[in-house]
Amino acid sequence: MLSCSYSHRKRPCSTAAATADWAALPPDILFTVFLKLGQHDIFCGADSVCTSWRRIALGEPALWRHVDMTKVLLCSMRRLAIILQKNMNRSAGQCESFSGGIRCDQSMLTYVVQRAPSLKSLCLLDYRHRINVVGAIKKLPLLECLKVAFFEPACFEKTFQSVCEACPRLKKLSLRHICLPWAYRNKENIEIHGGPLKYPIPVMHELRSLRLIFYGFTEKKLVAIIDSCPVLEYLHIAPCISDEKVQELQARYARLKIVSAHY
Amino acid sequence: MEVDKGKGEAEETRKVAEADRDTVTLKSSDGKLFEVSKEAAARLSTVLAGMIAGGSIDDNGTDLKQIGSEALENVVDYCNKHANSIPSAALISSSISFNTAPFKEPEEWERKFVDRLSHDALFDLVEAANFLGMERLLDVTCHKISEMMKGKSPDQIREVFNIKNDYTKEELEEIRQELAWAFYDD
């Protein structure tokens, strides 16, 4: 109320700033504003307002540390690729997390791997692009967190093994097999057998959180996986085994919090 | 009129300060005095907390030469509202270096608090919050400023903030091409 009367005193019916020089907003404040605004809105306008604002938008790699392509909607693949390039250029090699979304293809992922060698977190949704996830993560030695959803992978167990072998230092891993509901009912699509892991994983010394959404893991396989992850704290599985078996497993591994989700 | 009010407040402030040391008195660049709860000031502002802990608080009004009376009034108002209306609202430390860091959305009253400000007042307040190291107030004011830019073209943003387009012809052409490149499909 007070400030309203203040501005009215100075300039009746004023709508825009009367005296404040917004172009000269201190850089650390503008930086915070830009962070809240989000990358897409910075692209669409804020970075072209004036030279001092542009200096912040282009000269602060920290603004571009977390690249999330899932927020870029309604544009062609070509434009998406250009936006990604600009994002990566502005991050100046400091990008730490990348989320690709449903339209991220192999060429985009390759670009990210080249331009973000210190990536710590990678989130992908492989929607029939046949992305070479394993090839990409081999080139990311600092990767700590990986989240991938596959549509119809060739063999989930083999994929899981390859991922673990490529990145044995992961701290958080989430692999999800997305396929149409009726495919689950057709048991032939899923290799369920009572034996141990067909493709054993290496010891994952740093893995604390593991999420495996796939219906083919039997109790024996889960035991083998847990035994290969000495510091595992959280295991999230699809209800591939009965609730009683989950309770048995939970009783056996007190250090672990096991969540069995129902989809 | 403002001066009279300032003097009145000053006398009142001194009386209160003598009786009750739970408050601190702050002096704006134009000499007006404001009183704020010591607890709230220390909790919400790292700079004031440092001054209180270091004993550099002046009972006759601690000089804050960088902050005008209107901005300081808003700062004090914010501190008092924060202390009164939501004592339980824990401050979430929002790390600036993380886009994905949990930023607690402004509370309803915080939204109203910044919405009623003129652009000038908002500008002064965000600078004051920055100067005093008031993380939450800085968050709320920066959030408001970012909302004023959301979904707007460069021209619209310039109009909102009364910013002059200071690019050279060549720079402007470069930016125009860049925008066309990224946002208009063939």
Binned average pLDDT, 10 residues per bin, chain B of 186 residues: 52 50 87 89 91 82 87 92 59 38 74 92 94 93 94 91 90 79 55
Residue with tokens 């501005």: A7
Mean pLDDT confidence for A47-55: 92
> Is the separation of the CB atoms in B46 and B91 below 8 Å?
no
| Structure token digits, residue A85 | 């390039």
Is residue A232 a part of any domain in this protein?
no
pLDDT number for residue A139? 94
Is residue A41 a part of any domain in this protein?
yes
pLDDT surpassing 70 at residue A182: no
pLDDT surpassing 50 at residue A161: yes
Residues 59-98 of A with CB under 8 A from B: 62, 65-66, 68, 75-76, 78-79, 82-83, 86, 97
Is residue A27 a part of any domain in this protein?
yes
Sign of CA dihedral A36, A37, A38, A42: negative
| Structure token digits, residue A200 | 């054993």
pLDDT surpassing 60 at residue A216: yes
pLDDT number for residue A2? 33
Which member of A4, A36, A79 has the closest CB to residue B185? A79
Is residue A4 a part of any domain in this protein?
no
CA angle at A199 for the pair A197 and A201, rounded to the nearest 5°: 90
Mean pLDDT confidence for A166-183: 83
Is residue A126 a part of any domain in this protein?
no
**Domains in chain B, CATH or no CATH each:** 2-150 (3.30.710.10)
Residues 53-72 of B with CB under 8 A from A: 70
Most distant CA atoms of chain A, gap in Å: 82
- Top-ranked range on mean pLDDT: pick from A29-38, A216-225, B12-21, B80-89: A29-38
Cβ <8 Å between A23 and B117? no
pLDDT number for residue B94? 36
- Residue in chain B nearest A10 by alpha carbon: B120
Mean pLDDT confidence for A231-249: 86
**pLDDT tens-place string over residues B146-175:** 999 998 988 999 999 999 999 888 888 888
Q: Does A209 touch chain B (CB under 8 A)?
A: no
Cβ <8 Å between B154 and A49? yes
pLDDT surpassing 90 at residue A109: yes
- Residues in chain B with CB shorter than 8 Å from the CB of A45 are 149, 152-154, 156-157
Domain that holds residue A26: 21-59
Is residue A14 a part of any domain in this protein?
no
Residue with tokens 């390759």: A110
Most distant CA atoms of chain B, gap in Å: 73
Residues 7-36 of A with CB under 8 A from B: 7, 10, 14, 16-20, 22-23, 25-26, 28-29, 31-36
Is residue A110 a part of any domain in this protein?
no
Is residue A217 a part of any domain in this protein?
no
Mean pLDDT score across all residues of chain A:
83
Mean pLDDT confidence for A149-172: 86
Tell me the pairing of strands B33-37 and B23-27. antiparallel
Taking alpha carbons only, the member of A202, A102, A36 closest to residue B98 is: A36
Percentage of chain A beyond pLDDT 90 is 47
How many structural domains comprise chain A? 1
3-state DSSP call for residue B111? Answer: helix
pLDDT number for residue B83? 76
- Residue in chain B nearest A46 by alpha carbon: B154
Reported as a pLDDT band with limits 50, 70 and 90, residue A9 is very low
